[in-house]
Amino acid sequence: MKHDFYSNKNILITGGLGFLGSNLAIRLVELGASVTLYDGLIDDLGANYFNTDPIKDRVEVVTANVGDRSVMDGHVPHKDIIFNIGMHSCHLDSMKDPVFDIETNIVPQINFLESLRSQNPRARVVYVGTRAQYGRVENPPITETTPLNPMDIYSVSKQAVEWYHMLYSKICGLRPTSLRLGNTYGPRHQMRHAKYGVQNYLMRLALDNQQIEIFGDGNQKRELIFVDDVIECLLLLGETDQCVDQVYAIGTEKSVAFVELVKEIIKACGSGSYTHVPWPEDRKIIEVGDVVTDYAKLTAHTGWIPSTRLSEGLRITAEYYREHKTHYW
Pairing of strands 273-277, 211-215: parallel
d(CA 195, CA 197): 7
Question: Using CB under 8 A, which of 62, 71, 92, 160 touches a copy of itself?
Answer: 160
Q: How many residues bind a copy of itself (CB under 8 A)?
A: 29
Scan residues 99-158 and list those touching a copy of itself (CB under 8 A).
99, 102-103, 106-107, 110-111, 113-114, 145, 147-148, 150-153, 156-157
Q: Packing angle between helix 107-119 and helix 153-172, nearest 10 degrees? A: 20
- Evaluated on CA atoms 191, 41, 166, 229, the torsion sign reads negative
CB 155 to a copy of itself: min, Å: 9
Q: Judged by CB under 8 A, which stretch of 9-17, 162-170, 182-190, 200-208 contacts a copy of itself?
A: 162-170
Which residues have C-beta within 8 Å of that of residue 170, sequence separation ≥ 6?
A: none
Contact between 164 and a copy of itself per CB under 8 A: yes
CB 164 to a copy of itself: min, Å: 6
Contact between 170 and a copy of itself per CB under 8 A: yes
d(CA 135, CA 158): 12
**Pick 156 or 212: Cβ nearer a copy of itself:** 156
**Pick 150 or 272: Cβ nearer a copy of itself:** 150
**Pick 80 or 121: Cβ nearer a copy of itself:** 121
d(CA 24, CA 38): 13
Contact between 244 and a copy of itself per CB under 8 A: no
CB 285 to a copy of itself: min, Å: 5
* H or E element, residue 113: helix 107-119
d(CA 103, CA 85): 17
